[in-house]
Amino acid sequence: MANGGDWNRDCRCGVGGHTAAARRSEIIDAARSGKAIFCEKPISLTLDGAREMIAAVERAGVFFQMAFQRRFDAGYLAAKPKIEEGAIGEPVMFTSISRDPYAPPIEFCDPKMSGGLITDVVQRVQRVHAIGATLAYPEMKSIGDIDNAIIDLEFESGALGVVQLSRNAAFGYDIRSEIWGTKDSIQIGYCRQTPILMLTTEGITHDAVLHFMERFENAYLAQIQNLSSMSKRGCRHQSRERMPRRRCGSAWRENAGPWRYRSWRR
């Protein structure tokens, strides 16, 4: 990103990768400069901020891509058409596990800067219930954030979902999903980094995926390649697709009272 809107004319794309609190000016400056935009999630911490950024993108007519590397991961890419083809029947249950090996710097965790542990959920969610707690990192309490949470989802289709979030998976980076259907099930993800098992008299062991770069390196590269390809073709993005989720996230943070339990209904 350029500072203060000082963009290189030879630069075709801009990346909004700073904290969510600082992202507004990045995106608006990039749009005004006619750059294709890659924006980290969440787009904004407020509805007004999101609307202002999206309006700037639409006025400029530039391509806008939200960052979500799982859309470009080989496992998720392979699962999506199978679900659409009816391989598992009608989806009835979605489970997502997202566990980091450790917490990021506390400055980043501050909900005023990043939105906190829970800032975004999946599309077409009708109702959300969640319970969260500070169990592993007591310092999170001082900024009003948590380190573990369970989220129950109800989709417009009637299907159900469960999301587990954690910042203290000490063994490594644990990202897995399962979509359960009326006929069969699809599981996505893995814990083992290399295809090797050690079988000894003490048991069977293997290594683990240590961090997000090891797990999603190819997906991160693919999403940037997609940005470049779309900008070259002059494509525009339907940026309003994320507004229902942004409404959910905004209502979530504005819910009064202690964090322990919160609900939201669309």
What is the band of 255 on the pLDDT scale with cuts at 50, 70, 90? Answer: low
**pLDDT over 80 at 11, yes or no:** no
Establish if 15 belongs to a structural domain: no
Please enumerate in sequence order all residues whose Cβ is within 8 A of that of 256, keeping only pairs 6 or more positions apart, or say none: none
| Residue 51 is assigned to a structural domain of this protein | no
* Beta bridge mates, 179: 94, 186
Mean predicted confidence (pLDDT) in 43-57: 88
Q: 153: domain CATH number?
A: 3.30.360.10
Q: Report whether 244 contacts 127 (CB < 8 A).
A: no
Determine, yes or no, domain membership for 21. no
DSSP E strands: which ranges in the chain? 13-16, 36-39, 64-66, 91-99, 125-133, 148-155, 160-166, 174-181, 185-189, 198-200, 203-205, 261-265
pLDDT score of 100 more than 80: yes
Average pLDDT over residues 31-41: 89
Contacts of range 15-24, beta carbons closer than 8 Å, 24 or more positions apart: 15/39, 15/40, 16/40, 19/108, 19/113, 19/114, 20/44, 20/45, 20/113, 20/114, 20/115, 20/119, 21/45, 21/112, 21/113, 21/114, 23/53, 24/49, 24/52, 24/53
Q: Cα–Cα distance between 210 and 72 in angstroms, integer?
A: 20
* Local confidence band at 257 (pLDDT 50, 70, 90 cut-offs): very low
Any domain includes 27: no
Residue 120 in any domain: the answer is: yes
Q: Which domain holds residue 95?
A: 86-219+246-265
Q: Is pLDDT of 157 > 90?
A: no
Do residues 73 and 216 lie in contact, with contact meaning Cβ atoms separated by under 8 Å?
Answer: yes
Mean pLDDT, the chain, whole residue set: 83
207: pLDDT strictly greater than 80: yes
Examine residue 230 and state whether it is found in any structural domain, yes or no. no
Q: What is the mean pLDDT of residues 73-94?
A: 94
User: How far apart are the C-alpha atoms of 90 and 68, rounded to whole Å?
Assistant: 25
In this predicted structure, what is the pLDDT of residue 262?
61
Per-residue pLDDT for 254 more than 80? no
- Given a contact cutoff of 8 angstroms between Cβ atoms, the answer to whether 176 and 188 are in contact is yes
For the record, the structure tokens of 216 come out as 């999603």
Task: Look at the chain and report how many structural domains it folds into.
Answer: 1
Above 60 in pLDDT, residue 130?
Answer: yes
Predicted model pTM: 0.77
- Per-residue pLDDT tens for 215-234? 999 999 999 999 888 888 87
Specify the pLDDT at position 97.
Answer: 92
The tokens describing 253, both together, are 């943070």
Distances (CA, A) of 246 to 218, 242, 250: 27, 6, 6
pLDDT of residue 152: 93
Question: How far lies 157's CA from each of 64, 92, 160, in Å?
Answer: 28, 9, 9
The whole-number pLDDT of residue 248 equals 53
- Residue 56: which of 5, 9, 2 has the closest Cα? 5
Residue 121: is its pLDDT beyond 50? Answer: no
Report whether pLDDT(242) > 80.
no
**pLDDT, mean of residues 241-249:** 52
**Pairwise CA distance, residues 90 & 86, whole Å:** 7
The reply to whether 142 falls in a domain is yes
Q: Is residue 71 part of a domain?
A: no
Phi, psi of 91 (to 5 degrees): -60, 130
pLDDT digits (tens, 9 = 90+) for 177-196: 999 999 999 999 988 888 89
